[in-house]
Structure 1
Amino acid sequence: MKLESTGCTDPGLIRAYNQDSYYIDPAGRFFIVADGMGGHAGGEEASRIATEEIRSYLDKNWQSPESSLEILEQALFTANQAIVKDQQNHPERADMGTTAVVIMIGPDELPVCGHVGDSRLYRLRESQLEQITEDHTWIARAIKIGDITAEEAREHPFRHVLSKCLGREDLHQIDIQPVDLQLGDRLLLCSDGLTEELIDQKILEYINKAPNLEQAAHTLIEAAKEEGGHDNITVVLVSVEA
């Protein structure tokens, strides 16, 4: 499976700092996006710790006999523990946390995705954009049970309230799932700074119109800024090539 990939991040138009981080493995084995919270220093540190811990764990355990599902789950739990430890060592950052979304593409198994929070993984296949992850938010739960519509959710005051994130001692479950990939598929990992500003249909249109992945990533960033750019914006795009 040959992969092409690109990524970029931007603080947006409102915030003076960027609490997002991302990582693209040079060998194309895994891709990470994290969106920190808890103030300037706290959010930046939480997303940095998460990204580095996940990267380090996956790199060290790539040849482990465990399944990709087990390896990725443990990588995210390891990141959570590292953030909690940092909180204990630095009480001024006690409320920090971060989302994380990771796609891991092993040589012999189906790709797997792990996520915590509301950073998302999408798959674009034959002009259809599908959200693979399910947001860990109060509002996503309300939409699922029919208490609120997706349109109403975009303006709801509780739309940013997370039900789960890295950096919590009571984090006991992480969503891990296999992801089917076919030739021609494209993957989008992003922070909510993108999806807060652009509906899925607009994201699909911008990706499809761009001449290449790099231009698509930059176009998405700029489009989100044109719609307000209220939050940090991070985009990682991966294409499955022949």
Structure 2
Amino acid sequence: MTDPGVVRSVNQDSYYIDPERRFFIVADGMGGHAGGQEASQIATETIQAHLEEHWNSPRAAGELLQEAITAANEKIIEDQLKNPERQEMGTTLVIAIFRDDGSWYTHIGDSRLYRFREQKLEQVTEDHTLIARAIKMGDLSEEDAKNHPYRHILFKCLGRRDLPPVTVSPLDVQSGDSLILCSDGLTEEVSDEEISDYLQTGADCQETVENLVAAAKKAGGSDNITVVMVSC
């Protein structure tokens, strides 16, 4: 589910849920009027097409995801060259895939993947932001980071020629787990504790997602909000 939120008139988020539940994508675009929307759509559509076309390839899941993300990055750069007004556009990305060779995830930027297991919520991804890096290094507390003016500055996003190789990691999932893929429109407004509370209600995926989006809007809805929930 995606929602423009309360403040913004354009929704620059995109997402895709494979009908066969093989893979799930959330992208959060950025970069001026129409640019972010275009970037996230290009990324989502390109990755979807690549995964569908090559799903039964003998190549490992990690290699397949690397190829898909590289293709998406190149498509965004092509669009930037054709449309100079969009040259600063880019997008975050978070993907979870479930294949015969296992479950895997990757991400770029500050869109997140959470796992909810036995009534406990865990953030699986680590934000590619300067602030997250400072917290990890012990230079900044999590409390101080909440309202830091630089908290949205990314050091990695799609739409850049110097994009380093992405890390594709095994995703530890068990029967009964739930996964949340989301843009920062959710996590800027709703704390991890609150997300966990909504997941503990036992509501189905659709109702839980709707409740999380409503909570983010009630708390201010300052950004576009996208939430995808997967029950394992």
TM-score of the aligned structures, taking structure 1 as reference length: 0.94
Q: Indicate yes or no: 2:63 matched with 1:70.
A: yes
* AA matched with 1:171: L
Mapping 1:150-229, distance limit 5 Å:
150-229=142-221
TM-aligned CA deviation for residue 175 of structure 1 = 2.2
Deviations 1:160-204 (A, max 9, x none): 000000000000221211101110000000000000111111001
1:34 equivalent in structure 2: 27
C-alpha distance in 2 between matches for 1:211 and 1:171: 39
1:120 equivalent in structure 2: 112
Partner SS state of residue 236, structure 1 = strand
CA contact (8 A) 1:102 1:115 kept: yes
TM-aligned CA deviation for residue 210 of structure 1 = 4.8
2:230 equivalent in structure 1: 238
TM-aligned CA deviation for residue 100 of structure 1 = 0.5
Task: Calculate percent identity across the aligned residue pairs.
Answer: 56
1:90 equivalent in structure 2: 83
* AA matched with 1:168: R
Deviations 1:129-181 (A, max 9, x none): 11111111000000000111111111000000000000000002212111011
C-alpha distance in 2 between matches for 1:167 and 1:86: 9
CA contact (8 A) 1:87 1:93 kept: yes
Partner SS state of residue 40, structure 1 = coil
C-alpha distance in 1 between matches for 2:229 and 2:162: 32
* AA matched with 2:71: T
Q: Any unmatched runs of 5+ in structure 2?
A: none
Partner SS state of residue 105, structure 1 = strand
Give 4+ residue runs of structure 1 displaced > 2 Å after superposition. none
Mapping 1:140-159, distance limit 5 Å:
140-159=132-151
Partner SS state of residue 200, structure 2 = helix
CA contact (8 A) 1:125 1:186 kept: yes
Q: Indicate yes or no: 2:48 matched with 1:58.
A: no
TM-aligned CA deviation for residue 40 of structure 1 = 2.6
TM-score of the aligned structures, taking structure 2 as reference length: 0.98
* AA matched with 2:150: F
TM-aligned CA deviation for residue 77 of structure 1 = 1.3
Partner SS state of residue 102, structure 2 = coil
C-alpha distance in 1 between matches for 2:201 and 2:142: 26
- Which residue, out of 10, 18, 24, partners 1:25? 18
Partner SS state of residue 36, structure 2 = helix
Partner SS state of residue 228, structure 2 = strand
CA contact (8 A) 1:72 1:104 kept: no
- Which residue, out of 90, 94, 108, partners 1:101? 94
Mapping 1:123-134, distance limit 5 Å:
123-134=115-126
